Amino acid sequence: MYLCYVDDSGSDNIRTLTGLLVPAAGWSDAMHCWLEGRRAVEAEWGVAKSTELHAVKLVKGRGRFCVTEEQDKLFQKPARIAAHEMLLKRLARCENVTVTTVACRTSVLPDVYTCLVEHLEEWAAAEDTHVMVVLDGNPGPADTDGLTVEAASEAWRHAVRNAAPYRGVHRGLPLASRRVLEDPVMQDSAHSQLIQAADMVAYAAYHHLACSDPTLWPKLKPIGPMSRSYRRLSSRWLGDPAGEGIVWRDPAGGS
């Protein structure tokens, strides 16, 4: 049984979804490796391990991450890219993490998600295992004490409505043979270290693809160190190393 932590990247008419596959029995090891990286970043730059990391903001120098203002002044773009690389370097050491990315030529994220689930179904069938997906998204309000009944109901409706396209992908799988179990678990990345890890890897994969083929996102100026960080994960890539952990799929179905 595996958990698959998923986040997206890409832009315009090409989108990607990256999954970190973690065996249930190895979940503690995966968390240990990731938190080891977080502690190293905290020791070096003062970014508390409880601070939410979002790859775009981190790498592009947006937002404040450090405990003190003095530390934050030193935590500029070169340091932030170095922090990203440090995190992926520690993740690459974890034998209980497998990285896979699905890329599609579409701007419709639920269509990319359909392709990801197809990919996971095929992999899980070949491995004779099962997968539960943990997806970055709105799980609904954690505390409704400060909300009116109407506001609380609307917040829950909004969360359920946003999850509907992804839930529908799961429920469309053949019940007797499906390998991706249950509905996707929607988890706010602010409260999930491994969703944040998936985000870091997804953004690295995005820049790696852009470095490999500048025509994919002509407006993007890819960051070379991001590609290098992604290549550090080569021992964790799913499938043939020549594919670099990235699978291109037609959102209408087929590879």
DSSP assignment string, 46-105: -B-TTS---HHHHHTT-S--BSSHHHHHH--HHHHHHHHHHHHHHHHT-TT-EEEEEEES
Q: Among 21-30, 44-53, 245-254, which is the least confidently predicted range?
A: 245-254
- Half-sphere exposure of residue 63, counting CA atoms within 13 Å on the CB side? 13
- Say how far residue 104 (Cα) sits from the centre of its chain: 16
**Looking at per-residue confidence, does 103 or 73 come out higher?**
103
- In angstroms, the CA 27 to CA 254 distance is 31
Residue 240 banded pLDDT, cuts 50, 70, 90? confident
- In angstroms, the CA 155 to CA 191 distance is 18
pLDDT at 46: 95
pLDDT at 60: 87
Size of the chain in residues? 255
pTM metric for this prediction? 0.91
**Looking at per-residue confidence, does 185 or 154 come out higher?**
185
Residue 67 banded pLDDT, cuts 50, 70, 90? confident
User: How much is the average pLDDT of 117-136?
Assistant: 96
Tokens found for residue 56: 């775009």
| Angle at alpha carbon of residue 91, lines to 89 and 94, rounded to 5° | 120
pLDDT at 61: 85
180 phi and psi angles, rounded to 5 deg: -90, 110
Taking 80 as the threshold, does the pLDDT of residue 99 lie above it?
yes
Taking 50 as the threshold, does the pLDDT of residue 119 lie above it?
yes
- In angstroms, the CA 198 to CA 18 distance is 6
pLDDT by residue (tens digit) across 141-168? Answer: 455 556 565 654 554 454 446 678 999 9
The CATH number corresponding to 2-25+96-249 among 3.30.1490, 1.10.10, 3.30.420, 3.30.70 equals: 3.30.420
